[in-house]
Amino acid sequence: MIVGVGIDVVDLARFEQTLARHPRLRERLFTPAERDLPPASLAARFAAKEAIAKALGSPGGLAWTDAEVRRGSGGRPVVEVSGTVAAAARDAGVRTWHVSLTHDGGVASAVVVAEG
C-alpha cells in the first residue's frame, strides 16, 4: 500500500551558490557520508530529503540528517532513516522507501514513494 509520494526539484546553480555562501549548510543538511559528494549529487539528495518529507505529509520537526540517501547494490539509490524521520515514518506506517534521483539540464530532482 502506498502511504505517500513526494517529488522535489532543485536548481543546480542556485544550490551551488547557496552552498558557497553558507559553507556550514553542508553539515546541517547532509550526513557525514553525504557531505563530500559533488554539488549535483548533493542537490539530488537535498531534493530527495524534501520529497521524503512530502511523502510523509510534511510533518514539522524533521531533522535533515535523519534521512540519508546512499548508493545501494548496483548503484541504485537507497533511503535510510533514523531519529525524527524514522519516528514520522513509523507513525505513518511506512515500511519501505523507493527513491529515484536525477540531475541534468541545470536541475536535480527526486521522486520518493513511501510504502506501508
Catalytic residue numbers, as ranges: 54, 103
Of 27, 66, 70, 21, which is closest to residue 45 (Cα–Cα)?
70
Separation CA 18–CA 58 (nearest Å) = 23
